[in-house]
């Protein structure tokens, strides 16, 4: 392996990519897994529908998802992370129409009592990482992507902490890494970060939104992840959103709040970042910010798929800044490995993977 190939796989090892297809032999799946293997990407993320072309994407049935997870690991390696967004309610990739449980959303009273079933179900089909629970405080009930969709546990930070804690513990027991989102808090935003970059400078409160993370970090001595949001707060960083900001990801989350777990970005195909930065810039900035996993769902109107991301990683691997990016990515890999070892060591649920 030459130097450029080594840098390519080091940087690629920090990426989680969306894939097309449901089963071995599907042309989109094989093309995407070839690209993932070429750059050594760390994981994949599954979706029920394809936003770009419409129709089903990765999910058909319980048995099919289990077989797909097995095949992904056969192609990419046993340590490949299979990720999903399974909050319950509006955000469910694994639905009852596919044979999975009809899990309630955060705004439904019994939601937190369903987490044991939901997380054991994820573990039983081979999911490693769930980008949930959503711990955004419902500050603006008309926020189009949080409050309006019933994704918040409530408008009081203490209520959010109490209800999210049960979710986190159920994930860890099942052997699935929970990832709190969307740091530093999306609940006050007036716009959807899928469509634009929300400016939360005037609506976000340090005492309210950071209290959720501070208290959960204090109360939970368990493996944990945090997803950084595409959210601009000019008092924290006057130029970059949280997901691309070292001041927020490293300075606020890691240094001020003392978080030493896994940090993943929200998907970098969202307009909250891509309206202002190219694909290569977004990957580079996210790693410089301190992200461990850079997520690209490859599932938007941009029609970017794993081969396109592999090409962008190749360009980064050939750039003058490649060695420093690769060093950051290797540090991130070690942190991800340590977190996932802790998750698997502490699992006791019936579906937990060894």
Is residue 318 reached through a cis peptide bond, with omega within 30 degrees of 0 on the bond before it?
A: no
Q: Is 316 a member of any domain?
A: yes
Distance CA 153, CA 168 (A): 13
Q: Per residue in 156-175, pLDDT tens?
A: 999 999 999 999 999 999 99
The CATH code of the domain that includes 18 is 3.20.20.300
Q: What does 141-184 look like in DSSP terms, one character per residue?
A: TT-TTTGGGT--S-SSHHHHHHHHHHHHHHHHHHT-EEEEEEET
Q: Is 71 a member of any domain?
A: yes
pLDDT under 50: residue ranges of the chain:
1
Distance CA 136, CA 193 (A): 14
What contacts 186, CB < 8 A, 6 or more positions away? 136, 143, 145, 146, 193, 198, 200, 229, 231
pTM, entire model:
0.96
pLDDT score recorded for residue 349 = 64
pLDDT score recorded for residue 235 = 97
194 noted as active-site residue: yes
Q: Is 4 a member of any domain?
A: no
Q: Is 9 a member of any domain?
A: no
Using DSSP's 3-state secondary structure scheme, residue 317 falls into: helix
- Residue 51 tokens, joined: 């936003």
Number of domains the chain is built from = 1
288 noted as active-site residue: no
Q: Is 7 a member of any domain?
A: no
pLDDT score recorded for residue 301 = 87
pLDDT score recorded for residue 334 = 96
Q: Is 185 a member of any domain?
A: yes
Residue of 266, 269, 288, 305 marked active site? 266
Q: Is 8 a member of any domain?
A: no
Domain that holds residue 128: 14-345
Residue of 50, 194, 196, 199 marked active site? 194
pLDDT score recorded for residue 347 = 76
Q: Is 5 a member of any domain?
A: no
Question: 66 with 124: CB under 8 angstroms?
Answer: yes
């Amino acid at each position: 392996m030459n130097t450029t190939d080594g840098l390519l796989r080091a940087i690629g090892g920090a990426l989680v990519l969306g894939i097309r297809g449901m089963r071995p032999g599907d042309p989109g799946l094989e093309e995407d897994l070839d690209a993932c293997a070429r750059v050594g990407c760390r994981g994949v993320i599954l979706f029920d529908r394809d936003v770009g072309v419409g129709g089903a994407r990765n999910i058909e049935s319980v048995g099919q998802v289990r077989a797909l997870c097995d095949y992904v690991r056969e192609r990419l390696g046993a340590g490949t992370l299979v990720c999903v967004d399974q909050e319950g309610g509006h955000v469910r990739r694994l639905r009852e129409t596919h044979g999975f449980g009809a899990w309630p959303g955060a705004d439904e009273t019994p939601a937190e009592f369903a987490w044991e079933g939901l997380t054991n179900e994820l573990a039983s089909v081979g999911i490693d990482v769930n980008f949930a629970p959503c711990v955004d405080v419902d500050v603006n009930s008309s926020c189009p992507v949080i409050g309006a969709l019933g994704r918040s546990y409530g408008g009081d930070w203490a209520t959010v902490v109490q209800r999210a804690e049960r979710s986190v513990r159920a994930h860890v027991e099942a052997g699935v890494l929970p990832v709190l989102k969307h740091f530093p808090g999306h609940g006050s935003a007036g716009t959807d970060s899928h469509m634009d970059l929300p400016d939360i400078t005037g609506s976000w409160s340090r005492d309210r939104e950071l209290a959720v993370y501070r208290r959960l970090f204090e109360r939970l001595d368990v493996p944990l992840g945090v997803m950084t949001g595409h959210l601009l707060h000019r008092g924290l960083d006057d130029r970059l959103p949280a997901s691309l900001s070292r001041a927020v990801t490293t300075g606020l989350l890691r240094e001020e709040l003392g978080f030493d777990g896994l940090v993943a970005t929200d998907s970098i195909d969202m307009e909250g970042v891509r309206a202002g930065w190219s694909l290569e810039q977004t990957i580079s900035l996210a790693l410089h910010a301190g992200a461990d996993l850079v997520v690209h769902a490859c599932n938007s109107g941009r029609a970017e798929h794993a081969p396109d991301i592999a090409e962008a990683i190749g360009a980064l691997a050939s750039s003058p800044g490649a060695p420093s990016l690769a060093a950051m990515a290797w540090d991130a890999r070690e942190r991800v490995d340590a977190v996932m070892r802790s998750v698997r060591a502490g699992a006791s649920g019936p579906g937990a993977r060894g």
